[in-house]
Amino acid sequence: MKRVHMSPLGEDRDDDRKVTKPSCDTFEVGIVGAGVAGSTCARVLGEAGVKVAIFDHSHPREKPCGGFIEDRVVEEFKIPEALLENEVKWSLNERFKLRTRFQFEQSQFLVSRKDFDSYLLQEALKNNSVVHLNEKVVQVTAEKEKWMLRTNRGKCVKVSLLIGADGCPSLTRKYVYRPIPQSFLTMTVGYDLPCSSQYLERNFAKNTVEVYYSRKYVKKGGFIWIFPKRTKINIGIGSRESGFNLKQALDSFIAVHPAGARLKNIEGQFFAHLIPTVWMAQFFDLPCSGNNWALIGDAAGHVNPVGGLGIYYAMKGGILCGKALLDGDIHLFEDYWRKEYGDELYYAASAVSKFYSASGFALWLPYVFRNLLTKSRHSRY
Ligand SMILES: Cc1cc2nc3c(=O)[nH]c(=O)nc-3n(C[C@H](O)[C@H](O)[C@H](O)COP(=O)(O)OP(=O)(O)OC[C@H]3O[C@@H](n4cnc5c(N)ncnc54)[C@H](O)[C@@H]3O)c2cc1C
């Protein structure tokens, strides 16, 4: 008689033939990645009772990110006030040694990605049909009308629809379509520097973020940002250079630039991460969905390349992808996202090279002179 044992990994072990046959759980939808895109999509599907498995091995985690969110994120997604660490009314910008300060029309906000993303995942998990698997997907195999996902813990899950929300670079994207071209990926490095709220008050202008475009530090388009949050400062640099060069440039900025003096003596956590920076509008003609798959957030390349903002598009894309599925055709996602925020991404992709060029600076000059700052005003360095 043949004996079958269940292994702790959920696999059937057939003793007679010594063959390992995995038993797979099945779900209607598998979402790889529980960042802002994946969790938002899972919530929409969960609310409609769709059986969803959402995979992410990293929670709770601080995603390398400035955590700058626009007012529309707070309004549209009803973000609780407790998550908003700093209300941002002003941006202090420095370009070619000219310093300006402009006021946002609406307040923007800074969040901790650890708290923000945990909140979004918990919201999704309020729906019983959504299951979080605290595992990393390591392999994706196409089967007849299904996808088989394997995790780092040997688990096997079959899903009818696969959603890649696994950020940048995306493993899912590689299996369902093809990777984002290297030339559209930008390296970012930075530090999260813990400090007291009193230190922040003393050393940083209230309700203000700082952005430095100096060619001395940022050579190939991009900027250095300093975002003071509740009990830490997030500083980073993004540019089309190697991570090594960027770290050197950022360390030198902190050591030499007057703005860095406030950060020099704080020990913090270093981070490095890729971000999609699409500088050719045609990229956005590429499909983000197929018969039984879709890509959202960074996995779809949905980041504004001028400012590096992707949180809004990731969340909105998550909603629209869920809506397409609930409307009965995942291909509808193509129309939905292009109609909702496509214009912004197409325009930014065609404008980004100009923005960082000398002619872009010339176009910026009238605005600079309207908002020019003297050294002493509104700045703490
Ligand atoms: C340094 C930096 C600063 C930024 N600053 C801002 C900012 O201030 N404002 C803004 O709007 N945007 C910013 N962005 C962009 C923003 O972070 C992204 O656009 C946004 O996080 C995209 O969300 P997402 O859910 O698509 O991906 P992510 O937030 O990257 O989430 C992807 C998730 O997938 C998981 N995952 C990956 N692979 C697997 C796998 N194989 N199996 C299971 N899980 C997996 C990861 O653990 C992660 O939790 C910044 C980006 C960087 C790199």
DSSP 27-46: EEEEEE--SHHHHHHHHHHH
Q: What residues contact 297, with CB distance under 8 A and at least 6 apart?
A: 33, 35, 36, 37, 38, 165, 167, 310, 313, 314, 317, 318
Would the pLDDT of 115 be above 70? yes
**196 CA to centre of ligand 1 in angstroms:** 27
Distance CA 214, CA 217 (A): 6
Hey, what amino acid is at 81?
E
* pLDDT at residue 376 in the model: 43
Domains and CATH numbers, the chain: 25-62+114-182+278-355 (3.50.50.60)
User: What number is the average pLDDT over the span 361-376?
Assistant: 60
The residue written with tokens 């020099």 in the block is 264
More confident: 8 or 180: 180
Average pLDDT of the chain is 91
User: What number is the average pLDDT over the span 184-190?
Assistant: 96
- Tell me the per-residue pLDDT of 117-153, one tens digit each, with 9 for 90 and over: 999 999 999 999 999 999 999 999 999 899 999 999 9
Would the pLDDT of 300 be above 80? yes
Do residues 29 and 50 touch, judged by C-beta distance below 8 A?
yes
Element holding 185 (H helix, E strand): strand 185-194
- Tell me the per-residue pLDDT of 71-91, one tens digit each, with 9 for 90 and over: 999 999 999 999 999 999 999
- Tell me the per-residue pLDDT of 206-222, one tens digit each, with 9 for 90 and over: 999 999 998 899 988 89
Query: pLDDT grade, residue 97 (50/70/90)?
Result: confident
**69 CA to centre of ligand 1 in angstroms:** 13
Structure tokens at 149: 């996902």
User: What number is the average pLDDT over the span 294-323?
Assistant: 97
Structure tokens at 259: 């703005």
User: What number is the average pLDDT over the span 325-338?
Assistant: 98
User: For the chain, what is the largest distance between any 2 Cα atoms, rounded to a whole number of angstroms?
Assistant: 88
Mutate to test the pocket of ligand 1, among 166, 186, 269 (most ligand atoms within 8 A of CB): 166
Would the pLDDT of 371 be above 80? no
User: What number is the average pLDDT over the span 294-321?
Assistant: 97
Q: What residues contact 56, with CB distance under 8 A and at least 6 apart?
A: 32, 33, 34, 35, 38, 121, 132, 133, 134, 136
Do residues 303 and 341 touch, judged by C-beta distance below 8 A?
no
Distance CA 266, CA 205 (A): 18
Distance CA 131, CA 268 (A): 34
User: What number is the average pLDDT over the span 52-74?
Assistant: 96
More confident: 123 or 380: 123
Ligand 1 atom 29, closest CA = 35
Print burial letters for 56-80: b (CB count within 10 Å at least 16), e (below 16): beeeeebbbbbbbbbeebbeebebe
Query: pLDDT grade, residue 260 (50/70/90)?
Result: very high
Query: pLDDT grade, residue 11 (50/70/90)?
Result: very low
User: What number is the average pLDDT over the span 16-26?
Assistant: 68
Residues with CB under 6 A from ligand 1: 32-38, 55-58, 63-68, 136-137, 165-167, 171, 188, 190, 236, 273, 275, 297-299, 303, 308-311, 314
Structure tokens at 194: 């813990």
Query: pLDDT grade, residue 374 (50/70/90)?
Result: very low
Mutate to test the pocket of ligand 1, among 31, 65, 275 (most ligand atoms within 8 A of CB): 65
Query: pLDDT grade, residue 370 (50/70/90)?
Result: low
What's the predicted TM-score (pTM) here?
0.92
* pLDDT at residue 13 in the model: 42
Hey, what amino acid is at 108?
Q
